C-alpha cells in the first residue's frame, strides 16, 4: 500500500522535531509533522527557555545589591515586567521560527493544526483531511496537572506564567518539584512576596537530602516562605485577591496562586482507543526500549511516555527512533546517569546516586562533601553556602553520584557527568589538577570522606 508519508509526527516539541528532522534529512524519509500550538513545544514556548530567561531577570537585584561591595555605586532599579515580557515574546518568536525553518529545510511537511489517530496508518487533521503514513510518532508531551479542589479555576499553571498581565505583589506557589521551586525563586527574585506550599516534609523529593535541605534553607534565607506538610483545601475569590485555605483550616491571602503539582501525558482525544492502545497508570503511552508501542506502526517519545521527563531525554529518544526506523541503526535511548539541574537560587545539579539511594543499595560507600562560602558572595557579605558532594563506591572507587548546590551548579554538573559516565574513580578526580580559584575545584580536592555507609 502506498502511504502519503513514511512518517507522521504528532507534536512539534523537542522529541518530535528531532525525530522528524533526522528521519527526513538523514533517513531520506517523506515526513509530515502536525502541531496544534506553536512550534517548539513546552521547552521552547512555555518551559525551559523562557523560564531560564526569567531566572536571569530575577537574579539581577542580587547582582545590584552585591555591586556596592565591589566598589560600584548602583542604585536599586525597578523591574518593568511588560518590557521584559515583550523581549521574551520576541525571543520566543525567533526560536519558533528557527525550529520551523529547521523542519522546512529538512523537507518536512508541516501541518499547523491538530492531528488525531484514525487507525494504525491514518491521521485525521482538524480541517477534516485524512493523511496516511507508514509510521506514526506520538510526541505530544505533557500538560500541567491541577488537583480537583474547590476554586481550582482561580489558579494558574506554568503555562500562563510567561504572559501574566502584571506581576503580583504576593504569590502562593503550590508544589515542591522542579517547577514550583524554580518559580518560587524567580518570583521572589523579582520582588514578589512568595509562599511555597508543599505537602511533604521537604521540597525536591528524589534529590539528595543534604542538597535539598541546603536549597530549601537558602531559598528561605533569601525570602521564600516555604511551608511544609501543607496542603490546599480550597481557593476562594475575595475582595483584592484570592483566599487560600489549607486542610488544617489556616488561611492566607494572595494575588496569584501558581499550581505546579506535576504534569500528565498529553493523550486526551488523540484516538488511542481507536487503535486499541491502552495507557499506563500515569496516563502514559507504554513503549519498549526502541520507543515502539504495542501497535507496531506507532511509536511514542518524550513526556507522553513518562520515562524521564526532560527535554534532552526526549531529543535522545526522538533521535534514537529515527536512527532505528529510518537509518537502519537500531538504537535505544540511554536513560542511565541522566544529569539534571534545578534552576532554583541556588541551583542544584545532580547526576547518579543520591546518598539515600547508595544506602538502599546496601554496598559500602564513601561520601565526600565540601560546604563553603563561595568567594563572590562572601566578598559581598552574603552568607550563601555551596555544597559539593561525591558518592564513591568503596570497592571499585567509582564515583556513583555527584550533587552540587550553588551558583552555576547546572554548568558544573554537565561536566562532572561526562567523567562519571566514563566510569571515573575518585582517584581519577584526585589526579585532575584543580582550576583555581573556582568553586568546581572542590570536586578534585576533597581528600577525606565525610562519612561512610552502610557500615558493616
Ligand atoms: P514534579 O513531579 O517535579 O513535582 C510535582 C510536585 O507537586 C511534587 O512536589 C508533588 O509532591 C506535588 N504534587 C503532586 N500532586 C499533588 C497534589 N495532588 N497536591 C499537592 N501537591 C501535589 O512536577 P513539576 O510540575 O514540578 O514538573 C514537571 C516535570 O517537568 C518534572 O518532573 C521535570 O521532569 C520537568 N521539569 C524539569 C525542569 C528542569 O530540568 N530544570 C524544570 C521544570 C520542569 P510529592 O513530591 O509529594 O509527590
Binned at pLDDT 50, 70 and 90, residue 369 comes out as very high
The second-level CATH assignment, the architecture, of 340-451 is 2-Layer Sandwich (3.30)
pLDDT at 1 over 50: yes
Structure confidence by residue, pLDDT tens digits, 14-31: 999 999 999 999 999 999
Interval 360-375 mean pLDDT = 97
Binned at pLDDT 50, 70 and 90, residue 214 comes out as very high
Q: Is 293 in the pocket of ligand 1 (CB under 6 A)?
A: no
Q: Is 9 in the pocket of ligand 1 (CB under 6 A)?
A: no
Question: Does 319 qualify as catalytic in the annotation?
Answer: no
Strands 298-300 and 130-138, by their bridges, are: parallel
Structure confidence by residue, pLDDT tens digits, 290-346: 999 999 999 999 999 999 999 999 999 999 999 999 999 999 999 999 999 999 999
Structure confidence by residue, pLDDT tens digits, 233-286: 999 999 999 999 999 999 999 999 999 999 999 999 999 999 999 999 999 999
Structure confidence by residue, pLDDT tens digits, 138-174: 999 999 999 999 999 999 999 999 999 999 999 999 9
The predicted structure's pLDDT at residue 99: 97
Share of the chain above pLDDT 90, in %: 99
Distance 82 CA to ligand 1 centre (A): 28
Average model confidence (pLDDT) across the chain: 97
* Atom from ligand 1 closest to the CA of residue 181: 26
Count the helix, strand and coil residues of the chain and give each as a percent rounded to the nearest 5: 35, 25, 40
Q: Where in the chain is the domain with CATH 3.50.50.60?
A: 5-143+264-326, 152-261
Structure confidence by residue, pLDDT tens digits, 75-128: 989 999 999 999 999 999 999 999 999 999 999 999 999 999 999 999 999 999
- CA nearest to 386, candidates 407, 402, 367, 368: 407
Binned at pLDDT 50, 70 and 90, residue 456 comes out as very low
Distance 259 CA to ligand 1 centre (A): 10
The second-level CATH assignment, the architecture, of 5-143+264-326 is 3-Layer(bba) Sandwich (3.50)
What CATH code is assigned to 152-261? Answer: 3.50.50.60
Nearest residue CA, atom 30 of ligand 1? 309
Q: Are 327 and 201 in contact (CB under 8 A)?
A: no
Q: Where in the chain is the domain with CATH 3.30.390.30?
A: 340-451
Q: Are 133 and 10 in contact (CB under 8 A)?
A: no
- CA nearest to 344, candidates 46, 41, 77, 58: 58
Stated length of the chain: 456
Residue to substitute in 206, 246, 261 for testing ligand 1 pocket (most ligand atoms within 8 angstroms of CB): 261
Amino acid at each position: 500500500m502506498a502511504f502519503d508519508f513514511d512518517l507522521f509526527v504528532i507534536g512539534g516539541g523537542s522529541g518530535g522535531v528531532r525525530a522528524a528532522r533526522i528521519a527526513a534529512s538523514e533517513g531520506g524519509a517523506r515526513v509530515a509533522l502536525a502541531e496544534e500550538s506553536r512550534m517548539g513545544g513546552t521547552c521552547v514556548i512555555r518551559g525551559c527557555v523562557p523560564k531560564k530567561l526569567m531566572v536571569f531577570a530575577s537574579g539581577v537585584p542580587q547582582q545590584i545589591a552585591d555591586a556596592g561591595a565591589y566598589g560600584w555605586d548602583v542604585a536599586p532599579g525597578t523591574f518593568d515586567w511588560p518590557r521584559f515580557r515583550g523581549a521574551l515574546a520576541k525571543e520566543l518568536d525567533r526560536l519558533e521560527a528557527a525550529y520551523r525553518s529547521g523542519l522546512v529545510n529538512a523537507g518536512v511537511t508541516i501541518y499547523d493544526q491538530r492531528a488525531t489517530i484514525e487507525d494504525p496508518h491514518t491521521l485525521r487533521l482538524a480541517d477534516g483531511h485524512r493523511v496516511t503514513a507508514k509510521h506514526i510518532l506520538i510526541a505530544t508531551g505533557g500538560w500541567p496537572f491541577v488537583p480537583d479542589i474547590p476554586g481550582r479555576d482561580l489558579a494558574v499553571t506554568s503555562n500562563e506564567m510567561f504572559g501574566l498581565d502584571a506581576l503580583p505583589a504576593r504569590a502562593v506557589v503550590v508544589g515542591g518539584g522542579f517547577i514550583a521551586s524554580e518559580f518560587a525563586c524567580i518570583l521572589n527574585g523579582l520582588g514578589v512576596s512568595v509562599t511555597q506550599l508543599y505537602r511533604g516534609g521537604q521540597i525536591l523529593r528524589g534529590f539528595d537530602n543534604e542538597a535539598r535541605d541546603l536549597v530549601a534553607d537558602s531559598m528561605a534565607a533569601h525570602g521564600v516562605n516555604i511551608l511544609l506538610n501543607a496542603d490546599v483545601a480550597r481557593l476562594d475569590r475575595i475582595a483584592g485577591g484570592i483566599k487560600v485555605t489549607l486542610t488544617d483550616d489556616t488561611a492566607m491571602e494572595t494575588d496569584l496562586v501558581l499550581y505546579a503539582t506535576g504534569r500528565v501525558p498529553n493523550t486526551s482525544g488523540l484516538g488511542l482507543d481507536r487503535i486499541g492502545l491502552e495507557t499506563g497508570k500515569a496516563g502514559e503511552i507504554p513503549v519498549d526500549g526502541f520507543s515502539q508501542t504495542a501497535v507496531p506502526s506507532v511509536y511514542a517519545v518524550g513526556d507522553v511516555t513518562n520515562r524521564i521527563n526532560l527535554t534532552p531525554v526526549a531529543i535522545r529518544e526522538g533521535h534514537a527512533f529515527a536512527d532505528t526506523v529510518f537509518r537502519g541503526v537500531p538504537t535505544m535511548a540511554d536513560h542511565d546517569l541522566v544529569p539534571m539541574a534545578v534552576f532554583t537560587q541556588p541551583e542544584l545539579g545532580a547526576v547518579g546516586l543520591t546518598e539515600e539511594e547508595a544506602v538502599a543499595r546496601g554496598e559500602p560507600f564513601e561520601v565526600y562533601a565540601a560546604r563553603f562560602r563561595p568567594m563572590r558572595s562572601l566578598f559581598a557579605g552574603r552568607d550563601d553556602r555551596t555544597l559539593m558532594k561525591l558518592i564513591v563506591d568503596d570497592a571499585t572507587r567509582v564515583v556513583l553520584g555527584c550533587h552540587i548546590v550553588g551558583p552555576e551548579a547546572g554548568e558544573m554538573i554537565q561536566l562532572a557527568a561526562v567523567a562519571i559516565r566514563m566510569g571515573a574513580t575518585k582517584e581519577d578526580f584526585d589526579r585532575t589538577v584543580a582550576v583555581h580559584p573556582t568553586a568546581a575545584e572542590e570536586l578534585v580536592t576533597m581528600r577525606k570522606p565525610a562519612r561512610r555507609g552502610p557500615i558493616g
